[in-house]
Structure 1
């Protein structure tokens, strides 16, 4: 028995298809009507010449015009900021290598080439007020691909712009606060270093003076120096931490020889290790490793780890330093000690500021900042720091640094690079040194240091104006210049002396309590022969002075160095 064929009447498939089409058209009409009557979007359609043909309810609400006031009368560009229209027209003309078209066409030119564009524009309302908007522009084409107009859909962008403005203002305020913080740190560092310069300087002179101090006096001087250097260390560490956290610490990234740096660090810590009966073992490098780092800051990191390994060790213990590849492009520097070790809880608290892990009541001085600064410096140089420790056995602090290619050959003897102070022969001619300094205690300190050399005589000037005149009249071989002087600053005095042919040849050493790296870099860049920070270390000061005297006699200038306390 055959199944009856489907009927093609009112209830058949054809009627059902037509009904579906009608429903789809009705829904499309409803959707179109909802879009065109939306109060949240401005919808504007134009003809191919850019004249407005459709202006929906949202556009009326946003711009204040009635549809009958704009349809067939104006272009959308007439309601935009004219400066933005000209700028957009010029930009599109350059991008498309096309002459600027009049009015709105230029604004929508990309859309006319078949692309949709989204612009940030400023709409001008009927009452003259304005607001930022985001506008999507689309070219409208017929079935043959011919351009028949443009469709613009816009939204009010005021809220987002307001948030952006607030964010920018907040960023500006934060940047100003950062600059103020850095300036405050620099100022405080200077103010703290100035009295320390007198304390430590005069204590060093008394300790090595004639007649020699009595045993009781020596003990007192030793305590003064110990406390003074410790206070200086605290100032330096707080300064470093503040600069790192404010994002103003400047680091260089250059190939640094680990062999050279470890040799220099070893020379600096071996004396303290001997005093505490700690053995030092530096494993020989199997190959010449170069890491990308800031040389000065890498030394600071390693010396801090070495000093800690010596300080928190048992008498008769050992410190072992080793280097090995930890990954194809990284090298690990390990500092192993035989100290009491750290518990898991202590390891978790290691890198917290001012946390000394219960050592506050012990016999070892410390700030609880050193490891925090060390960790931040390592990370800023692209490295990683970690620790492995066993209570009762000891600890291993390690630093992983990125390897890089060397730009210059490694010196056969790294320590041979260090400058040495030449002995002053008897009967040598006397050299004149001018010191421009407004602080009487600082001037007296340098006078006493220089007085120990029979080949030197010191002239003092209390301000830059007098110092400049003294330099012109007495022609000193070397000038020592404070930076923060009343009236003319030390940097400005340097410029004046450099511009004068009679004094331009004299090497000028900055002698300042401005110890922020940014200040030192600016000083050297300004043209100072050297930059010595207060408090003065007498031996370093005399070495720098000898270098300047040698330059004054030969005209050969060694590479400028930074003699920081």
Structure 2
């Protein structure tokens, strides 16, 4: 473990230097008392000196030093003394005050006649007391103690008649300094052990708090998913029971089927958001920054949201600042994640606004970053409600009643924005509306391609022959339906081994491999496909994963070009296919569709 610095405290505790200062501070009142007790003895001895005026002046200087030191001791009890550097300077100054007082006593003793040696020995004893009280803190011991000892020793060595006494005193002083250094070394080791113990305790407390946060997060996750899954599946089960004729129920109407589809889509959205949030919380969510046409992206998203806004009687506008339209360059962000964030913000504005309008403003701010403001005339939020809105698994009860969601959308959006080098800020006024601002880095020399399309239009431009390796029949049927809806031809394999056999004999444009299959796992199957001879080894591969980051890492390492997380939707399948077709083989930094 790294040794703590002399003054700067280690994480969670006091440094060795701070502990030494505290130990010396605890001894200072005793030093004050010791010099106070010495004062009468000094006055008595000095009263026998032939020069009474000089003795009076020395006494006054001693008293002034005692008073100044008393002020230092009182200052160390004040809040200003919390700064260790300031406290270190003040404690050194207090020690030097005593060193100066002892030096002037030694100077006075030189003219004290027969009491010269007695006063010099008394001054030397006071200097040794300084050695004792400066021992805990090494800088004080090395600076104050020699300064205090210098005066009496110089006085003793200055005259021939006291040379023998001076040599004896020098030996005693050397022994005192050696003992002071030994004591300081022992204390420093104790302080270092205490500092390490504080660091270990702080780390343990952080780990315990992280474990508590994880437990709360998992508990909130289970509670949220439990409610959303129960509510969504109850409606879907009711419609399916009616469709099957169970219980004598009539066939479901188109409105009931539409409601069941909405419930299923809401449930899929909740699951995807929750998985993304958990991945981001674990620090395993990755982004791939590249030039993005945010203006085109915003216009596409506004076009998709306009029917929902029109159904509620809302006006939805997009405003692009003229200076941005006249400026070359592009935002630098992950195209999929930036679309995800903007779609969530625009969708929230439309969902929570009852009347009025929603406006999306795109401009360059003063910092040279691209700012997308989503402004609505919704119910607005107080400062406390706005803080709650960004907390995971928290929803504002006043505004979210009757709406679905896990309370993770804004939390995830802010995490994604910061991962892309930007930020997400918000301000709101109760009863007036809210404004959410997404900031992204902007490069004036970058050139962005067309925005990533969310629907099946792009995928329909080319009919692909797709090998689907999925062992679960229900998932295979759903994926086949999505792929056929996009206009592709599907060949199904129920195992990884069967997928390898079909890849050898079929002319394929794309392969979709499930990460978990009996026999050969997904990454093993992908590795085997990449090891094949011929064109089959270069065929783009989409790995189907469940949400485990290890699955994603293993599949990418084996050679997958894109990832598609289950449960899947048609737009997600289209994005994954577009990503795989546009990627180099065995890319290691693909995003999850």
Specify the TM-score bucket, using the shorter chain as the normaliser: 0.5 to 0.7
1:222-237 matches, cutoff 5 A? 222-237=258-273
- Change beyond 3 A, Cα 1:489–1:175: farther
| CA deviation after TM superposition for structure 1 residue 482, in Å | 0.5
Aligned to 1:370: 409
> Given the alignment of the two structures, is residue 530 of structure 1 paired with residue 530 of structure 2, yes or no?
no
- Two-structure CA RMSD over aligned residues (Å): 5.3
**Greater share of residues in helix:** 2
Instruction: Flag the 1:370–1:551 CA change in 2: closer, same or farther, 3 A.
Output: closer
Give the distance between the partners of 2:484 and 2:369, measured in 1 at CA. Answer: 51
> Per-residue CA shift, 1:427-453, capped at 9, x if unaligned?
xxxx86432222222123344556779
By percentage of residues, which structure has more strand? 1
Q: Is the 8 A contact 1:186 1:515 kept in 2?
A: no
Question: Counterpart of 2:560 in 1: which secondary structure?
Answer: coil
1:421 and 2:459 aligned? yes
Does the Cα contact within 8 Å between 2:319 and 2:360 map onto a contact in 1? yes
Deviates more, 1:184-193 or 1:222-231: 184-193
Cα gap change, 1:186 to 1:559, in 2 (>3 Å): farther
Specify whether residues 361 and 395 from structure 1 end up closer, same or farther in structure 2 by C-alpha distance, changes over 3 A only: closer
Paired with 1:186 and 1:519, the residues of 2 have a C-alpha distance of: 21
CA distance in 2 between partners of 1:501 and 1:543 (Å): 28
Q: Equivalent residue for 1:327? A: 366
Q: TM-score, normalised by structure 2?
A: 0.57
- Cα gap change, 1:236 to 1:515, in 2 (>3 Å): farther
Residue 164 of structure 1: aligned partner: 199
Return the alpha-carbon distance in structure 2 between the equivalents of residues 264 and 36 of structure 1.
Answer: 79
Q: Is 2:31 the counterpart of 1:31? A: no
Instruction: Give the whole-Å Cα distance in 1 for the aligned partners of 2:220 and 2:382.
Output: 36
Paired residue secondary structure (2:428): strand
Give per-residue Cα distances to partners, 1:26-62, cap 9 Å, x unaligned.
Answer: 3344433663699968999xxxxxxxx9695577789
CA apart distance, 1:397: 0.9
5+ residue gaps, structure 1: 1-8, 45-52, 63-122, 124-130, 135-153, 208-213, 426-430
Cα distance change of structure 1 residues 221 and 534 upon mapping to structure 2, 3 Å threshold: farther
Instruction: Check if 1:404 corresponds to 2:439.
Output: no
- Report 1:379-398 matches (<5 A): 381-389=421-429, 391=431, 394-398=432-436
Picking from 341, 355, 370, the partner of 1:301 is 341
Match of 2:156 in 1: none
2:474 corresponds to which residue?
441
Q: Distance in 2 between matches of 1:59 and 1:559?
A: 59
1:506 aligned to which of 533, 539, 542: 539
Where do 5+ consecutive residues of structure 2 fail to align? Answer: 1-48, 59-103, 111-115, 143-173, 244-249
Give the deviation of 1:230 after TM superposition. 0.9
TM-score (norm. length: structure 1): 0.59
Kindly indicate whether the alpha-carbon contact (under 8 Å) linking 1:291 and 1:401 is maintained by their aligned counterparts in 2. no
Q: What SS is found at the alignment partner of 2:515?
A: coil
CA distance in 2, matches of 1:458, 1:359: 47
Q: CA deviation at 1:490?
A: 0.8
Alignment length (residue pairs):
434
- Displacement of 1:523: 3.9
Contact 1:189 1:513 in 2 (8 A): no
Q: Deviations over 1:303-360 (max 9, x none)?
A: 2221122122336x42222234553445543323344445677556544543233245
1:461 is aligned, of 458, 472, 494, to: 494
Query: Superposition pairs for residues 176-255 of structure 1, below 5 Å?
Result: 216=252, 218-251=254-287
The answer (yes or no) to whether the contact 1:41–1:155 under 8 Å persists in 2 is no
| Corresponding residue to 1:311 among 335, 347, 351 | 351
Secondary structure at the residue paired with 1:399?
strand
